[in-house]
Amino acid sequence: MMNFDPADNIQDLQFFGEFGGVNPSISDSSTYTFLSAKTMFDTFEGNAEGCYLYSRHSSPSNLYLDRAMAAMEGTESANVAASGMGAITPTLLQLCGNGDHVVSSRTIYGGTYAFLKNFAPRMGISTAFVDITNLEIVEKAITKNTKVLYCETVSNPLLEVADIAGLSKIAKRHNLTLVVDNTFSPLSVSPIKLGADIVIHSLTKYINGSSDTVGGVTCASNEFIASLKCVNSGASMLLGPTMDSMRSASVMKNLRTLHLRIKQHSHNANYLAERFEKDGLKTVYPGLASHPSHELYKGMINPEYGFGGMMTIDAGSLEKANELMELMQEKNLGYLAVSLGFYKTLFSAPGSSTSSEIPADEQAAMGLSDGLIRFSIGLDNDIERTYQMMKQCMMEVGVLHKEDFATI
Ligand SMILES: *Cc1c(COP(=O)(O)O)cnc(C)c1O
């Protein structure tokens, strides 16, 4: 893994179209013909490299995106899915069965939390939710039935950072599979390099970047990806959350500009976070020295891609947060919407939206306050102009006060 650069790895992949096109052809078939019956049998058994059987299993377009995602994360293989949840749930169900146990960060995406807490127990899979930033607590939660250690590199919405190298040591000691959801930090963090076993993304966010589709991917060893796709016992093959070829082709084209977008998202978020903090707002951004995991994260990232495009501020109350978000939307500074990774800034109050699956008392315990606004900072060309306009909105709704500033 010397000189591992995830963007160079993607750039080095050449996929030509059928007629020499600069983009690969889109495969528009659900099923594939065989010249001989014997080849069809071998393909079913998984012994015919380069042959396609049926598009729920794999399609040429999906395999291009699989290869690009594997190259980006430095894994042998990958499997794209129809959504992030369509990658997460089969991965966990492939790793765990009746009686098995998961140790998971308590600050994870609401859908993943709801799956582990409410749905997986129906299959006899139980989960301990822990403070992932405390490695001692993580290790104590492991039982003889634990199979998986699960976390997000940068968590949603509190932007806690998981010490992937530290977690990997624990996972190896106890023979667990470390699964990392890297949705918030593509290119910035390469979890495999830090010791993760499996990396998952919701492609819906930064990687596709145009808020026009949902998608997901699991990046892992050849062996694990083959097990997910196995016609007899593979969770992806049997549950069927397959991405459509048209979509994987369009995600693949957007992936080509990911490195430029991530740099701009990071630059803009860092700029705003520094200024808002200086203005006296409670601001959370991993690039700020005040972030509890700033030093740790600094050592984890591929520096040229920065600290990412996600930040939070505390508006004091839900009412103020709502008022501010509505005003910023009116001024065309961004959209009041969930999700992230769009060219436009998106903002939402996680307590009443994306994290609403988490009960109020648990939200309070993890520091998720009512007035919290989560920002996915966009690709704005002139971020100083954006800052001035946002500051104006904050003063208008009374989140910031005129007397706080020497100059306005
Ligand atoms: C959005 C998201 C998911 C779920 O992905 P979908 O594409 O919406 O299914 C999972 N993890 C994280 C961190 C996310 O932000």
Reduced 3-state DSSP string for the chain:
CCCCCHHHHHHCCCCCCCCCCCCCCCCCCCECCCCCHHHHHHHHCCCCCCCCCECCCCCHHHHHHHHHHHHHHCCCEEEEECCHHHHHHHHHHHHCCCCCEEEEECCCCHHHHHHHHHHHHHHCCEEEEECCCCHHHHHHCCCCCEEEEEEECECCCCCCECCHHHHHHHHHHCCCEEEEECCCCCCCCCCCCCCCCEEEEECCCCCCCCCCCCCEEEEECHHHHHHHHCCCCCHHHHHCCCCCHHHHHHHHHHHCCHHHHHHHHHHHHHHHHHHHHHCCCCEECCCCCCCCCHHHHHHHCCHHHCCCCEEEEECCCHHHHHHHHHHHHHCCCCEECCCCCCCCCEEECHHHCCCCCCCHHHHHHCCCCCCEEEEECCCCCCHHHHHHHHHHHHHHCCCCCHHHCCCC
Query: For residue range 228-246, what is the model confidence (pLDDT) as tens digits?
Result: 999 999 999 999 999 999 9
State the pTM of this model: 0.94
CATH 3.40.640.10 positions along the chain are 6-255
Q: How far is the CA of 356 from the centre of ligand 1 (A)?
A: 14
Query: For residue range 162-205, what is the model confidence (pLDDT) as tens digits?
Result: 999 999 999 999 999 999 999 999 999 999 999 999 999 999 99
Domain 6-255 top-level CATH class: alpha beta
C-beta 202 within 6 A of ligand 1: yes
CATH 3.90.1150.10 positions along the chain are 258-404
Instruction: Look at residue 351 in the predicted model and tell me its pLDDT.
Output: 74
Substitution candidate for ligand 1 out of 83, 89, 91, 109 with most atoms within 8 A of CB: 109
C-beta 85 within 6 A of ligand 1: yes
Average pLDDT value over all residues in the chain: 94
Identify the CATH assignment for 258-404 out of 3.40.1160.10, 3.50.90.10, 3.40.50.2300, 3.90.1150.10: 3.90.1150.10
Query: For residue range 315-357, what is the model confidence (pLDDT) as tens digits?
Result: 999 999 999 999 999 999 999 999 999 999 999 998 777 667 6
Percent of the chain at pLDDT > 70 equals 97
Q: How far is the CA of 52 from the centre of ligand 1 (A)?
A: 29
